[in-house]
Structure 1
């Protein structure tokens, strides 16, 4: 599951709310072991996703770098090439 969590820092354009929430959801799924929680655990699960999203948003806002922002399209192409070399 965690292989789906993408790096969100130092990209142009910056990470969207949807990307931050998707990463938080994957993280909470990994920690809890639930892909979809039971009705009894749903509130706690959703609260955890919101709290992790908030923490990720604060982290991204507070990070600084001297390097130039990376281009999402270029990085996606590099990832496709790595995948092609790995899996053929």
Structure 2
């Protein structure tokens, strides 16, 4: 599941709040073992997602680099090419 968490720093345009929340959700799902929590755990699950989203946003806002921003489309194409080699499919 954590394979789905993609790097979000140093892209143009910058990561959106939705992308950061999606990464936080994947992280909480992984460590909790729940895809969707039970009613009894729903509040704790959502609080964890929100807390990690807030911390991740703070991290993204604090990081600095001298490197040129990466292009999302180029990185996506590279990922497709890697997957084609790995799984023997068309890129």
TM-score by length of 1: 0.99
- Output the CA distance in 1 between the equivalents of 2:14 and 2:45: 26
Tell me the residue number matched to 1:19: 19
Offset at residue 34 of structure 1 (A): 0.6
Aligned to 1:75: 75
3-state DSSP of counterpart to 1:30: helix
Aligned to 1:63: 63
User: Equivalents in 2 of 1:34, 1:85: separation in Å?
Assistant: 31
Task: Note the alpha carbon deviations across 1:1-52, whole angstroms, 9 max, x for none.
Answer: 1000010000000001110000000000011111100000000000000000
Q: What is aligned with 2:28?
A: 28
Which position in structure 2 is the counterpart of 1:54?
54
Partner secondary structure for residue 81 of structure 2? helix
**Structure 1 residue 57, shift from structure 2 partner:** 0.1
Shift of 1:79: 0.3
- Partner SS state of residue 81, structure 1: helix
Distance in 1 (alpha carbons) for counterparts of 2:57 and 2:68: 20
